[in-house]
Amino acid sequence: MSDKIIVAVDAQIAALVPRFLAHRAADVDKIRAALAGADFETIRVVGHGMKGAGGGYGFPEISRLGAQMEEGARRRDTTQISALVADLEAYLMRIELKPGDGPDKG
């Protein structure tokens, strides 16, 4: 699956989105390191943050993955977390930003 995911970015937050995505890429490394050390609390906190922030930046998939990571951390499910962090990394690599017109009025 190498198809690009085109995301129209709200003009009001366009300057913030690249940094947001860079932080999510850093989260991939943070989660993998935490997973290697069985640090499920760090994974839970990172997942919770992604769950809360993704939709606000126009990335509901990041929110979905974050919610599932948070739950996986609560269950200490290393298999699920490993799969989810791989999904997050693949998703981030496919994103292509497109300027949007602003908030959706419909």
**The predicted structure's pLDDT at residue 101:** 62
Pick the range with the lowest mean pLDDT from 1-5, 34-38, 57-61, 96-100: 1-5
User: Using an 8 Å Cβ cutoff, are 86 and 98 in contact?
Assistant: no
pLDDT greater than 80 at residue 106? no
Q: In this structure, is the dihedral angle defined by the CA atoms of residues 97, 10, 22 and 66, taken in order, positive or negative?
A: negative
Contacts of 105 (CB under 8 A, 6+ apart): none
- If you search the block for the tokens 């994974």, which residue do you land on? 43
Per the DSSP assignment, residues forming a β-bridge with 96 are 6
pLDDT of residue 102: 53
CA distance 4 to 45: 29
Query: What is the amino acid identity at position 93?
Result: M
Q: What is the CATH number of domain 5-99?
A: 1.20.120.160
Q: For residues 62-88, give the mean pLDDT.
A: 98
15-21, Cβ contacts within 8 angstroms, sequence gap of 24 or more: 16/57, 17/57, 17/58, 17/97, 18/97, 20/53, 20/57, 20/59, 21/92, 21/95
The secondary structure of residue 28, as a DSSP letter, is: H
Q: Assign 101 to helix, strand or coil.
A: coil
Domain chopping of the chain, boundaries: 5-99
Per-residue pLDDT band for 88 (boundaries 50, 70, 90) equals very high
